[in-house]
Chain A
């Protein structure tokens, strides 16, 4: 319940997507979003300052053969694509973790990344009737259709019929 008189400083949209709305087998694609050289270097400067993420010349001498985004930057971009794609409208309760993440190919400056989300399975914990887990496969694809990142994780979503967390 909201306290009356409490000023809400940011707008929280009413969720439209609940646990019940996910269908195993469904595949959706969100994006693309272009990754710039400046973004790659800015993220790496703060979180992953290794030569292959910071400097073209130094990156050429590494196993990746050229400037490429930190794998953690790719994960963060995937998160943003998921947020803009559907989490903004969903009764999301976060995720307990990531089962597996494979960084398959480097993400280069100028790459246009899309996310392909597959609903694998759903489960309803008996101890927490207000929510359910949706098991996803989540892939990040570049503009050539190559899978650069492949992951599996469970998302937690409130149930429409039990009311949202609020």
Chain B
């Protein structure tokens, strides 16, 4: 990750794509969200969703995995260039998570994020607070997912 001081509002990140298979949708649902429309094709067909679709929490988890992998790739590139990557702290939460459309079995969702706010942390001077909007778009170009993430990112030593 870039240091807080090097991040600008409007910075864009293409996080990557994730395909939601029927098997993975059912496996996640069996552990965490076993509502019929996430567990069984026939039950889903008779529901208002019309077909098997992923738990909303599955979409957030899959997006997180892409974010972590993105940061690991970026850190490796920085180390290869002889730069020190910034640390990422725990997130205090998020706002305005929107499951705009169902993510159906077989759908591939591309996630991307944009920096929308930067501020120094009041209580932790070595950290900055970065707010990002992340969106997910399916293979038909439909926006299916939106969230405002918040992260603590390390500042350069003064």
Contact = CB atoms under 8 A, between A and B. Distances in A.
A38 interface: no
Interface string B45-86: 011110000011100111011001000000000000000000
Contact of B33 (A6, A62, A80, A100): A80
A103 B92 contact: yes
B90 A101 contact: no
Given A9-B42, A49-B68, A166-B46, A99 B95 contact: yes
Interface in A49-98: 49-50, 52, 62-64, 70-72, 75-77, 79-80, 83, 87-88, 92-98
Interface residues of B, number: 40
Contact of A47 (B49, B65, B98): B65
Interface residues of A, number: 43
Given A76-B57, A79-B55, A80-B33, A100 B47 contact: no
Interface of B: 28, 31-37, 39-40, 42-43, 46-49, 55-57, 60-62, 64-65, 68, 88-100, 146, 152
